[in-house]
Amino acid sequence: MLTVALLPRYLRTARGSVAPQGGTHALTQTIVALVCASVLTVAAAMWIMNRGGTITTRWIARTVLAGDAALLLGRAALLALALTRDDPRARQRRVAVVGATAYGRVAVERMQLAPQGPFVAACVFDDDAPVAAGGIGGVPVIDDWNALRDLIRGGEIDEVWLTLPMSHEWRIQRIVRELRDEFVELRLLPDVRQMAMVDRSATDVLGMPAINLATTPRSAPELWAKFAFDRLFAFGVLIPLLPLLSMLAIAVKLSSPGPVLFRQRRKGVDGREFDILKFRTMRVHRAQPGVVRQASRNDARITRVGAFLRRTSLDELPQFFNVLFGQMSVVGPRPHAIEHDDLYRRLIDCYMYRYRVRPGITGWAQVNGYRGETRKVEAMEARVKFDLFYMQNWSFWFDMKIILLTVVRGFIGRNAF
């Protein structure tokens, strides 16, 4: 115990002497510390025995060994910390960005936005463009191969990032040939912003590197796990709510002539169409073919019961049957009318990407206030942005958060008419 109590003081004393004074000094310090700790432990044991205490020789030996082990482990940890501090791989990586291009500027800006991050821009190299006065974002621009090699061989550069356009394949190959024998890490950062829909992650396909431009955002096991959870959750919701569903069905039937349920064709996963179910909230009316008129505030078509159902989102409860049928998820991007899909797919980038997963009863966009009528394209763009964020960041706990937020704030919304 005495040795353990002295350990912090020993570590503070030794912290500055792990590397600078050399291995001999560090070894001497360690031996002296072990001897002192052992002597102090034995002296303390003898004092206790003289006071009438009972301590065995075996206990003294175990205590000395345990204390020495603690000191050695502390010393080893300090040594590892010092070596890590001196290892260039453990500090910020100094990067030479190849290509004074727009994407090269983006790379420099990203590093400068995170000054404490893992990378720092050391220079920009481009032998095919005029050197920019003042550099790029304050980072010097060089156009001489020998200058770049000198920086690399002098240990001033840890990584080289190639940010040249994909059409400059010959330049990329030449740079790789020039630097393949240098002790520096090479990375190719292709600019796929104009091609990639949402995903820009890299993967391996049959041993070939590939950049995902538009792929299903989740793996098969994750999709199956979500599918199983959806059905179990829907079943668990519908059973206790059967009495409420029955009362709501009677109220809808008495509110105006017509069916209890409203059915409308919507797109599901991979564009497969299905009939979405809702409690009917409007009077039966004849719609114009190919035209979908969104419900609006003070819409004369909405019944009094329907207004209450829409305001509280209770009209959506039958969609748990869609979940049981495997057509929808509990959480996911909300499906829109097919006519709206045909309109917005031409106005909003990545709009149809939402249908790479099952549509949901509630979603990240809805709990953030984007539900109900969308009179402006900007409102739909914001909704799509939230949907895509959900798809790229999905997790079981993210779903739980959205379900909880739906219960807390999602049943009564300002935009639901």
Q: What is the pLDDT of residue 128?
A: 81
Q: What is the pLDDT tens value at each position of the chain, 417 positions in all?
A: 444 444 454 444 544 444 444 445 555 666 766 667 667 776 676 666 666 666 667 766 777 677 667 766 766 666 555 544 544 445 789 999 999 888 899 999 999 998 888 999 999 999 887 766 668 888 999 989 999 999 999 999 999 999 988 888 898 899 888 887 888 889 988 887 767 666 667 777 767 767 777 677 777 788 899 999 999 999 999 999 999 999 999 999 998 888 999 999 999 998 899 999 999 988 876 665 555 556 555 667 888 888 889 888 899 999 999 999 999 999 999 999 898 898 998 899 889 989 989 999 999 999 998 876 677 888 899 999 999 999 988 999 999 999 999 988 755 555 544
Domain definitions of the chain by residue range = 2-86, 93-191, 220-410
- 344: tokens are 């917005």
**Sheet of strand 93-98: strand arrangement:** 141-142, 119-125, 93-98, 159-162, 185-188
Rounded to whole angstroms, the Cα distance separating 203 from 318 reads: 40
Q: What is the pLDDT of residue 74?
A: 67
Q: What are phi and psi of 97, to 5 degrees?
A: -90, 120
- Cα–Cα distance list, 354 to 2, 23, 272, 359 (Å): 64, 61, 13, 8
DSSP letters for 346-390: TTSTTGGGGGGS--EEE-HHHHTT--S---SHHHHHHHHHHHHHH
* CATH 3.40.640.10 given to domain 93-191: no
Which is nearest to 366 in space by CA: 326, 320, 327, 330?
330
**Between 57-86 and 2-14, two packed helices, what is the crossing angle to 10 degrees?**
20
Q: What is the pLDDT of residue 91?
A: 73
Rounded to whole angstroms, the Cα distance separating 310 from 262 reads: 13
Q: What are phi and psi of 391, to 5 degrees?
A: -65, -40
Strand partners, 124: 97, 141
- Cα–Cα distance list, 197 to 211, 267, 409 (Å): 12, 20, 32
Q: Are strands 208-211 and 202-205 parallel, antiparallel or unpaired?
A: antiparallel
Q: What is the pLDDT of residue 275?
A: 96
Rounded to whole angstroms, the Cα distance separating 167 from 109 reads: 23
